[in-house]
Amino acid sequence: MSVTSPSIPMHGAQLQRLQWLVAGDLALGVDVAKGGRIVSFSRNGEEILTPASVHPDNYGSTLWDSPQRTWDWPPRPVLDTQPYLTSREGDTLVLESGVDPSGLQFTKRIRAEPSAERIELEYRITNRGDAPVHVAPWEVTRTTGGLSFFPFEAAEGLPETDLHPVIKQDGICWYPFAPAVLEKGRKLFELGREGWLAHVGSGQRLLFVKTFPVTPLESFAPGQGAIEIWGHDDALYVELENHGPYVQLAPGEALSYPVCWYLEPLPAELRVGVGEPGLVALARRIAAR
């Protein structure tokens, strides 16, 4: 594992605020001055996350507290956009937010694992307030349009999905990005089944896979889904979102939410399309590492 900057062109001022984790061909960059936000995830220099040039506020990958109804919009600045304290514990990058007026504090622990060709993240939410709070972790990752898919479980009581087209077959939920119907933002709400969410960016031959604990129907936050996909207004980007369990934290208590990221080249013979069994098989192999 290396923490030196990879050969990605950036201005000097930006490099000073970035922390890098590198494992073989994988490189992940974190902006400690912008909410400890992940602003780059690439393999051999090919980027999967959308930059600030696509949207000045909503780019890269961040952590929110769920449900959204407790803060509406915009996200809490202390947790989402203000600087984080940074330290190292061996090969782990540790990022710590300030304490938000809600009493919440975020900690992000990130390490590169070369042997498994992945990035390991642990999100912690601590209640620093004087009263109990109900909260769930919510990872929000922005990427280009393309093809998103994940194993789903049919469930009643989810918020209505207005993102389309959404195609469900053989236990897999597919969303092929459709810019023509994104004149306004639309969202998919689903219940995940195997604890992974995958995406192939438009025009790319890379498979992005996120793995996380399965959150059952009775455990995710009100008005949310265990897995959500948001297509932004005018098709600027797609958000790949996963929620952890909704729990009560007493003062001083914390929750932990582990996530792993993978970015794999696709075999030359593998077709990218809805219902492609080879894509599902590859995602499952990656998620099982």
Nearest to 237 by CA among 156, 140, 115: 140
Average pLDDT, the chain: 94
Q: What confidence tens digit (pLDDT) does each residue in 186-214 have?
A: 999 999 999 999 999 999 999 999 999 99
Taking the domains of the chain in order of start, what are their residue ranges? 12-287
CATH code at 12-287:
2.70.98.10
What pLDDT does residue 16 have? 64
Q: What confidence tens digit (pLDDT) does each residue in 233-288 have?
A: 999 999 999 999 999 999 999 999 999 999 999 999 999 999 999 999 999 999 99
What pLDDT does residue 97 have? 98
Dihedrals phi, psi of 78, to nearest 5 degrees: -60, -35
**In the numeric block, which tokens belong to residue 121?**
């993240």
Residues in the chain, overall count? 289
* Residue 8: pLDDT over 50: no
Enter the pTM of the model. 0.94
What percent of the chain has pLDDT above 70?
Answer: 94
